[in-house]
Amino acid sequence: QVQLVESGGGLVQAGGPLRLSCAASGRTFSSSNMGWFRQAPGKEREFVAAISWSGGRTYYLESVNGRFTVSIDNSKNTAYLQMVSLKPEDTAVYYCAVSSRAWSARTYAYAYDYWGQGTQVTVSS
């Protein structure tokens, strides 16, 4: 059984940084993609970023491009989402997820087979 354990959320002032981690276990992920999504109160879950397990490909939601960086440490089976210049509108529960589908489906929540429990990120103004 695949497990994804997230950590690193919290309260931060606008303009500050946070780094989220997602530790994966339970199988090999060499042909998978890792995605980050977020869900704010009263809103639908939205795609934030994706990375191929090899780390060779990344993709971002336009509004976070240049502020968020997704990376992966294959030796630790852990993915990271480094966030800088945070804005109040970034406030949400952030989820990591693993997909075994093609890279072309990277932005679709339905394409992800396993999800973490979510970690709250709150950005104060």
Where does the pLDDT of residue 55 fall: very low under 50, low under 70, confident under 90, or very high at 90 and above? confident
CB 12 within 8 A of CB 26: no
Residue 28 confidence (pLDDT) above 90: no
Q: Which DSSP state fits 28?
A: -
For residues 28 and 51, the model is more confident at 51
Q: Cβ atoms within 10 A of the Cβ of 52, count? A: 17
Average pLDDT estimate for 2-26: 96
